[in-house]
Amino acid sequence: MNVRRKVFVWYTLSVTIVIGIVIAAGAVIFFNTLDPVESSPTALWVFYAVVTPLLIVGSVIGAHLISKKYLEPLHVLKNITVDAEHRPISNAFPSLNINVNNDVSSAVTSIHGFMKQRHEKLQQVIHFSSVTSHELRTPLTIIRNQLEDGLQADAALPYLKDIIASTYDEVIRLHHLVNDLLTISTIQAGTLKLEKSDVEFHTFIKEFYDEALFLSREKNISVILARGPQVTVQCDPRRLRQLFFNLFENALKFTPEQGRIHISYRTVNGALEFKISDTGYGVPHHQLDRIFEPFYQVSRHDQEVHKGTGLGLSLVRWIVEAHNGRIDVESEEGKGTTFTIRLPLTDD
């Protein structure tokens, strides 16, 4: 017997007994106040024969209404749990539809929200593991094939040098990928420790700008740094440098030759606001919400394929959030993209 049926039965019995006792006592008192002629046993039995069925029917209806009001949310949650158990983990978690509003429905809604959140986290872990395995397998396969070619007895020296150079590039790519994965795993586990210190941001950004100029020469892209205030920010300089270079390399990758990258910063309401804009291809509007997902690559049918792990912007977002900051993005296809980062100037 399920919970709903038990409540229904016990509520009906208890209410019937209690009300029956009350009515019986009231009937006895009432008939005792009448004259002996009027208070005949037949009249008393007729009274009980009429009231008892009405009492039982009222108790049953009351029990049904009470059980439906307070136990229906639990019944819905049970069905959702059974449904989710038999669905593939890749499917979306079943939605909750409750038409009543009480303490039980509020508790059920909270439980459902928790279960849905955990389900989505599990989906992310599975997806992350799957994509990570694929990303690691690709460079390892290339390295293995290149080394197998190099082991051939008749391989010429120039060909061996090309193989070594190509293998070295793949090893470097694999090294960066593993470092990014380790950083992401520490962030997701909540074990990332920031080594914060007071950083003179105007000096920091000038050093970053000088290196950015060097990186942009190959594609002949103009990099412009707007003058900003002299300000000190409490941050982890190593992570902040990683954040800025990930944003810059992303802008550099998707900006064609003769394009421009504009860098600016200012202070707004006790926070440092940093902007980096480009005149690149832009991001389709329907993909903007996904660009911070691990391994996600913006796809366009008229754009060349760019190599990358798809972890750069994910790291940017997590580093910003680790500093209690915020990141926003605006983009228009064919005109460019602007990332805006706000970091608190003082350590909260």
pLDDT tens digit sequence for 263-296 = 999 998 888 999 999 998 888 887 777 787 766 6
Domain boundaries, the chain: 3-87, 119-188, 197-344
The total of other beta-carbon atoms located within 10 Å of residue 142's CB is 16
119-188 has CATH 3.50.30.10 classification: no
Phi, psi of 200 (to 5 degrees): -75, 100
Output the CA torsion sign for 31, 32, 35, 39. Answer: positive
The total of other beta-carbon atoms located within 10 Å of residue 94's CB is 19
Least confident of 8-12, 165-169, 342-346: 8-12
Phi, psi of 265 (to 5 degrees): -155, 155
Q: Please tell me the distance from the alpha carbon of residue 308 to that of residue 167, in angstroms, as a whole number.
A: 17
pLDDT digits (tens, 9 = 90+) for 306-321: 455 567 788 888 889 8
Strand order in the sheet with 336-344: 222-225, 260-268, 271-278, 336-344, 326-332
In this structure, what token pair is assigned to residue 236? 């982890």
Q: In 166-183, which positions are buried (b, 16+ CB within 10 angstroms) versus exposed (e)? A: ebeebeebbeebeebbeb
Q: Please tell me the distance from the alpha carbon of residue 20 to that of residue 54, in angstroms, as a whole number.
A: 11
Specify whether the CB–CB gap between 176 and 315 falls below 8 A. no
36 has a pLDDT exceeding 80: no
Percent pLDDT > 90 in the chain is 11
Q: Please tell me the distance from the alpha carbon of residue 122 to that of residue 120, in angstroms, as a whole number.
A: 5
Measure Cα distances from 298 to 5, 126, 140, 187 in Å: 54, 21, 24, 24
- CATH, range 197-344: 3.30.565.10
